[in-house]
Amino acid sequence: MDISVVVPLYNEAESLPELEAWIRRVMEENGFSYEIIFVNDGSTDDSWHVIRRLSESNPAVRGVSFRRNYGKSPALNTGFLRAKGDVVITMDADLQDSPDEIPALRSMIVDEGFDLVSGWKKKRYDPLSKTIPTKLFNATARRVSGIRNLHDFNCGLKAYRNKVVKHIEVYGDMHRYIPYLAKNAGFNRIGEKVVQHRARKYGSTKFGLDRFVNGYLDLATLWFTNKFGIKPMHFFGLLGSLMFILGLIAIIVVGATKIYNMTHGLHYILVTDSPYFYISLVLMILGTQLFLTGFLGELIVRNSPGRNHYEIEEEISHE
């Protein structure tokens, strides 16, 4: 099969027939074998009944329906697990992504050798209250992830080589960082294509401003787990050791200062009257706790079933 189109959706009953007809027309015009996987994320409208009707008239339409609303990431991950096409295309169900982009996106995967191609909605039809935070968010994501050529991490319109979606797990709200997840999994050929952003035709947006706060927290989580997830002692142990040593040096200085003043007949105060004594104790206690945190993290990683799980691209053997 040439292409799998994965469409996560929540309360998009009005747009689904038009979207399915548009995708079908593009596929037939280009002679692609295809499937459309609609993932109904617990919609409360008539979305699932619409998907059932579409599947009856078009055998290429498949559907999965969640019992309740879980979010876009679980919906995408569910679609990825079921995708059979050599190239997997994701797009939103609100008609803001154009299926006419599919042939060019597929070509960048098949002919140009990219592992993942992300759409860039260079010209957007969104209010400033959404576009300005989006620009700041994408700038931060580029810097942290090291993927400097992407301008729109959260664009729903993306193309993947099939093995990419089979080797990543999209959970929580990590759909914003699928390129980063792919990079962490060893898929480094990540490209970008300017795509058309269309104004919403039906319904209303399902995302609020809280997604930007959650987005930064998720980005910090990804960065930390990628850098220190396998070797937590390298972070906690180093930081804890530094704090403990600083505290130890500070408390030695406090004690030595008192002894020096006593032996030379100078004015001195009790060690416990010095604020530096308590600062030193706090540093040593925090340092010890951080070191133990790193040690416990190492024990957890050591007992993890995936501690020695590595993705092998190719192997040559003469046995």
- Residue 295 domain flag: yes
307: pLDDT confidence band, cut at 50, 70 and 90?
A: low
Q: Which of 228, 257, 283 is the last residue of a domain?
A: 228
pLDDT tens by residue, 157-192: 999 999 999 999 898 888 889 999 999 889 999 999
- Residue 139 domain flag: yes
Q: Which of 228, 256, 274 is the last residue of a domain?
A: 228
Residues 80 and 197 in one domain: yes
Q: Which residue has the higher pLDDT, 254 or 310?
A: 254
- Residue 308 domain flag: no
pLDDT tens by residue, 63-102: 999 999 999 999 999 999 999 999 999 999 999 899 999 9
Token pair belonging to 306? 């995936």
Residues 68 and 37 in one domain: yes
pLDDT for the residue numbered 206: 54
- Return the closest-CA partner of residue 17 out of 4, 36, 34, 3: 36
- Residue 287 domain flag: yes
> What H or E segment, with its residue span, contains residue 308?
none
Given a cut of 80, whether residue 2 has pLDDT beyond it is yes
Residues 217 and 264 in one domain: no
Which residue type, as a one-letter code, is found at position 76? Answer: L
Residues 245 and 185 in one domain: no
- Residue 110 domain flag: yes
The DSSP code sequence of 136-162 is HHHHHHHHHH--TT-S-TT-S-EEEEH
- Residue 282 domain flag: yes
Q: Is the pTM of this model over 0.95?
A: no
- Residue 314 domain flag: no
Residues 60 and 21 in one domain: yes
Given a cut of 90, whether residue 194 has pLDDT beyond it is yes
User: Which domain covers residue 218, as residue numbers?
Assistant: 3-228
Please state at what angle helix 102-110 crosses helix 16-30, rounded to 10 degrees: 50
What CA–CA distance (Å, rounded) separates 135 from 308?
A: 38
Structural domain count of the chain = 2
Residues 128 and 85 in one domain: yes
17: pLDDT confidence band, cut at 50, 70 and 90?
A: very high
From residue 305, alpha-carbon distances to 167, 185, 205, 309 in Å are 17, 17, 40, 8
Residues 154 and 244 in one domain: no
pLDDT tens by residue, 215-256: 667 777 777 777 776 678 888 888 899 999 999 998 898 888
Q: Which of 187, 203, 228 is the last residue of a domain?
A: 228
Any idea what the CATH number is for the domain that residue 217 is in?
3.90.550.10
When mean pLDDT is compared across 45-49, 78-82, 288-292, the lowest value belongs to: 288-292
Residues 276 and 181 in one domain: no
Residues 155 and 49 in one domain: yes
**How large a percentage of the chain has pLDDT more than 90?**
51
Residues 185 and 244 in one domain: no
- Residue 307 domain flag: no
Residues 97 and 211 in one domain: yes
Residues 85 and 156 in one domain: yes
Sign of CA dihedral 178, 184, 186, 190: positive
Token pair belonging to 289? 């706790």
